[in-house]
Structures are given as structure tokens and as C-alpha cells.
Amino acid sequence: MEISKMGNLKAPGPLYEMAQNQFLKAARLMELDPNIGNFLLWPQKTLVVHFPVVMDDGRVEIFEGYRVQHNTARGPAKGGIRYHPDTNLDEVSSLAFWMTWKCAVVNLPYGGGKGGIRVDPSKLSEKELEKLSRRFFSEIQTIVGPTKDIPAPDVNTNAKIMAWYMDTYSMNVGQTTLGVVTGKPLDLGGSEGRPEATGRGVSITASEACNVKGIDISKARVAIQGFGNVGSYSAKILSEEYGAKIVAISDISGGIYNEDGFDIDELIEYRDQNGGVIKGYPKGKPITNEELLTLDVDILVPAALENAITEKIAKDVKAKIIVEGANGPTTEEAEKILIEKDILVVPDILANAGGVTVSYFEWVQDLQSYFWDIEDIRKELTKIMKRSFTQVFATKQKYNTDMRTAAYIVAIERVASAVKKRGYFPM
């Protein structure tokens, strides 16, 4: 018997197949028990909901939403909810799958979950957005809860929406339940350090990667694709705390390049006053997103959406280190090329795990009704990210493999151990 994707089950789409292939590469290398491997290939629970929202003009519009729980052997499911017109079951299932390994690789007592609604939130009024959010959370409430599944912000969702979720759940169950979601406002049980957490985790792992590659990070040149929450905080922390020079940045409007580096605070201020985009910033030369990905830099941080680095682009990538701020930014074919070029790829399930780690801190604080100082949060996050990088790099050397496969091996060992010890119930 061997671990196999074949049989009666079918992946929801090509992105999930790519995620499964990443898993299989590690599972076969570590000689995982096929029974456990076949179980871990698939989501445990998938909920698809269609729900009505009364729009401002009186029309009733029907929306489609998803919540997927991949595995809960180590604890409740954990993962964000995104609002995007292209969100689909393949994407959400894949992200839930990756969340299982992301939580396990940094040794959090969680499993993987993810959710989303097919919607363009920019076309909704504030009132419509609130109605959509509250109705959706009521629809998925059968499978969420502080001991079952704890959602969080993701693409186009934020602390305000998490507050609506928390209030909706609390009103439905008849008591205030802060721990049902994370990423909330501070005065509603949110945590210090949460907005910066993913970017800080990216910065910490970038520093660790420089150490093993023999690069002085204070002299490193960095290009960052994406200037939202993850990209902007990565740029700010790498620049201010590690001394790196951020020479290129891009967002949906295009990219900019400055050989001498950018003043990140000034650029963030420009973005916020310029409709949320960096286009037109006078202190940078315009470049395309593809040009940014192939610049001669030490560190490249893809912090936008999936499949940014393709096979075609990978052939021209010159960075020595890639730190994946986004989920799934590198295709399978591209990664093979990057590995052949001896580029160290710090995979998403490790590099951007800072967000879920501080979400875990928030959940713990909510359950205990005791809240930590920002210094304590940063200290604990740094300890966890450094320890996790060290464990993954040691596994990479042990198995003579790449960082992504090594991260999967570390994570799979932990989840498989939980599955084996718990057993299969009912028999």
C-alpha cells in the first residue's frame, strides 16, 4: 500500500492538487504510514453556504460562502476568512490544507481551517458589508466556536469585520465570547502586535535565512512584491530593525525601484494618501511586477497572491533568498528551477506563520482574560519563529532536501503523531 491521491475522492481544483503534491513529496521521503498519509490528504469537513442579503435598494442578493476544516487532530481549526470575487472552493480548501502544516510547523495546538465569500466588498456599502458578514457567520456557526474553529482576518477582511463576527456569535449563544475569532480590535479582546505579526515573522525568518547563507542582513538589498499589511510591515521591520535596504516595492498599481532604498514610513504615508496605491511615488523609478521579481537582490519577498513566481519568471530570478510572505506564491515548476539555482526558498508555511502565532497568543489571552504587553508578544514570537526555522533547516540537512519539503516533514510528523495516538473513532 502507498500514499495516493487516487480513488473515489477528487481534489476541488489544481491549487489543491499542487498542495497535495507538496505533501506527498515530504510524506514519501519520510516514509509516512500510508493509512495516515491518505487520511491527511483530504479535508475533514467542507461547508458551502448560499445565503441572502437585503441590499440598500431593497433587492435580495444571494452570495456563496465557504468554510473548510482540513484537520483538527492537534486542536481546533484555525484560519482566516477572505472576501474576494475570485474566491472559490479550490482556493479555500488549499489554504485550509496549508494552515494545518503552518500551525504544526510552529508547534501551535491548532489544525487548519479557511473560509471565504465570493464577493467584491468594494461594491458594497458599509451597511451591506455588515449584513453580509453577520449573515455569513450565522450560516457557518454550526462548525465554528472557540473550541472548534477560530476564524481570523484575511484578504479584504479586518478587525471591524471580526468584531461583527464576534458580536453575531455572542448574541446567538447568549454570552460574550471573545475567543471565537482573532484579529479583533484591541478593546474587544484583540492582541497587541497582531497587525504587524505576519510581517515580523517574515522579517525574522529572512534574518535567519541570511545567517545560514552567510549574508549580512544589514547590508542586504530587498525587493518586496505586495505592499498591503504583510508587505508594508515586512519592509518597515527589515529596514528599521535589521538595517536592510528596501530597493523595490510593488502593489496592484505597479512597482517602483530606488537603488538607494526607500523611506518606508514616507512611502506608507504616500500610499495611504494616494488611494491605497504607490503608483506615482516621485522617489522611485516605475517598474513592472515581473521586473521586480527578477531584480538582482539578496532577498525577494513575494507578499501578494498565489502563483506569482512562475516557471518563466523563475528562470530569471536572481535573488539569493526568497521568503514567501504570501500563501502559495511559487508554482511547483518554478520551485524546481529555484532549487537547481541554489536559491534558498523559505516556504509560506514557515515564513508567514507569524500571523497565526500571534493569533494564538490572542486566543490564549481571551480565554484567560489576561492580556500581554507588546514587548512580551514580540519576544515570544521571535523565540517561536527562530526555533521553528532552526528545526526546519536541520531537517533540510538531515534529509538532504529543500526547505519546503523539510517544513512539511516537521509538520507532518507532529500531526501524524497526534492522529496515531488518538486513533480512529468510532471504529
Across all residues in the chain, what is the average pLDDT? 96
131: annotated active-site residue: no
Q: What is the pLDDT of residues 224-250, one digit of tens each?
A: 999 999 999 999 999 999 999 999 999
Q: Can you say whether residue 419 is alpha, beta or left, with left for phi > 0 and alpha for psi between -120 and 50 degrees?
A: alpha
For domain 43-177, say whether CATH 3.40.50.10860 is its number: yes
Confidence of residue 94 (pLDDT cuts 50, 70, 90): very high
For domain 197-351, say whether CATH 3.40.50.1970 is its number: no
Query: Do the Cβ atoms of 227 and 289 come closer than 8 Å?
Result: no
Bridge partners for 269 per DSSP = none
Residue bearing the bigger pLDDT, 427 or 246: 246
Q: Is the pLDDT of residue 7 over 90?
A: no
Q: Is the pLDDT of residue 205 over 70?
A: yes
What pLDDT does residue 3 have? 77
Q: What is the pLDDT of residues 318-364, one digit of tens each?
A: 999 999 999 889 999 999 999 999 999 999 999 999 999 999 999 99
Mean pLDDT of 58-77: 98
> Is 197-351 in the same CATH topology as 43-177?
yes
Q: Is the pLDDT of residue 187 over 90?
A: yes
Q: Can you say whether residue 243 is alpha, beta or left, with left for phi > 0 and alpha for psi between -120 and 50 degrees?
A: left
Q: Is the pLDDT of residue 307 over 90?
A: no
The 3-state DSSP class for residue 390 equals helix
Residue bearing the bigger pLDDT, 39 or 5: 39
Nearest to 326 by CA among 26, 102, 38, 17: 102
Q: What is the C-alpha to C-alpha distance for residues 68 and 82, in angstroms, rounded to an integer?
A: 12
Confidence of residue 1 (pLDDT cuts 50, 70, 90): low
Could you tell me the three cell numbers for 158?
Answer: 479586518
Confidence of residue 426 (pLDDT cuts 50, 70, 90): confident
β-pairing, 149-153 vs 285-287, is unpaired
Three-class HEC string of 304-364: CCCCCECHHHHCCCCCCEEECCCCCCECHHHHHHHHHCCCEEECHHHHCCHHHHHHHHHHH
Give me the phi and psi of 67, to 5 degrees please. -145, 120
Lowest mean pLDDT segment, chosen from 15-24, 96-105, 143-152: 15-24
Q: What is the pLDDT of residues 120-136, one digit of tens each?
A: 999 999 999 999 999 99
Q: Is the pLDDT of residue 200 over 90?
A: yes
Percent residues over pLDDT 90 in the chain: 92
What pLDDT does residue 124 have? 98
Active-site residue, selected from the candidate residues 78, 114, 236, 245: 114
| Residue type at 94 in one-letter notation | S
The answer to whether the Cα torsion of 84, 85, 86, 88 is positive or negative is positive
Global pTM reads 0.94
Extents of the domains making up the chain? 43-177, 197-351
Q: What is the pLDDT of residues 356-380, one digit of tens each?
A: 999 999 999 999 999 999 999 999 9
